[in-house]
Amino acid sequence: MHSELLNRYGIKHLIAGSDYNFRYQTAGDKVKKDIEQIMDVLEVEPDEIYTGQQTHSANVAYADGENGEAFVFGRTFKDTDGLLTDQRKVGLLIKYADCTPIVLYDPVNKVLAAVHSGWRGTVQRISEEAIARMEMDFKSKRENLVAFLGPSIDQANYEVGAEVYEAFRGFKERDTFFQPDGEKYRLSMTDANLTSLIQSGIKAENIEVDRTSTFSDSRLHSSREEGKDYQLNGLFVMMV
């Protein structure tokens, strides 16, 4: 699975699904072999690989190839759901099951970001935070940015409570990505994140959306489908 948009800009990337597992709590040191498998598939040799200890936050960390803490593979940041770099050959890995992985790229200033956006991160507008960092630290312009929304759970299989609907009260368009279902709601995380990106100033024509469902596609892990022993997909991106 890949992105035509990221291919167009020469961004090395891979959506690593059911053949991998990046949930360190269950996979343990096997994650190192899965990282090596990604490198083999992409035929790349990163100078460094970064991941975050994801907590459904809106925290975005800059990866310079030397900072962060040593991890079982590469380097990591605590309490971090977004990664940002302007360094070539610094790989960024987002781990996810049913949440939405998002890649942002500035082709003018060569800045790359990847974020993990579950419903909490979306409410906190983590993509907006990453975009703001790109603007502030690297002089990126929103009209130049391109974005890729990776596979996440589909609306039909993502039932949430009224408290989640209420959490999105700051989104004027929330009724376009929520469907009432009795006392519950069905939430389209893809459309919630797409709305957030467009509201942030990303041009619609610069956004690629992969609507593959993590729940129903056997090529991908899904926490809702797999239950408590769920495994994690990975979205790896790197400038070369």
For the cut 90, the answer to whether the pLDDT of residue 2 exceeds it is: no
Strands (E), 128-206: 146-149, 159-160, 178-181, 184-187
In the structure, what pLDDT confidence band is assigned to residue 28 with cuts at 50, 70 and 90? confident
pLDDT at 4: 95
For the cut 90, the answer to whether the pLDDT of residue 27 exceeds it is: no
Q: Closest by alpha carbon to 106, among 86, 82, 88?
A: 86
Q: Give the tens place of pLDDT for each residue, 50-95.
A: 999 999 999 999 999 999 999 999 999 999 999 999 999 999 999 9
Report the largest interatomic distance among the alpha carbons of the chain, rounded to a whole angstrom: 51
pLDDT at 25: 84
pLDDT at 175: 97
Residues 6+ positions from 156 with CB-CB distance below 8 Å: 186
Give me the residue label for tokens 């956006």.
117
Residue ranges of domains in the chain = 4-238
Look over the chain and give the mean of its residue pLDDT values, rounded to a whole number. 97
pLDDT at 37: 97
Asked if 26 and 231 touch (Cβ cutoff 8 Å), the reply is yes
Q: Give the tens place of pLDDT for each residue, 176-233.
A: 999 999 999 999 999 999 999 999 999 999 999 999 999 999 999 999 999 999 999 9
pLDDT at 26: 86
In the structure, what pLDDT confidence band is assigned to residue 157 with cuts at 50, 70 and 90? very high
Report the distance separating Cα 240 and Cα 28, nearest Å.
29
Single pTM value for the model: 0.96
Neighbours of 72 (CB within 10 A): 14
Instruction: Say what percent of the chain tops pLDDT 90.
Output: 97
The CATH topology of domain 4-238 is CNF1/YfiH-like putative cysteine hydrolases (3.60.140)
Give the C-alpha distances (Å, rounded to integers) separating 109 from 26, 48, 195, 229, 238: 39, 21, 25, 41, 15
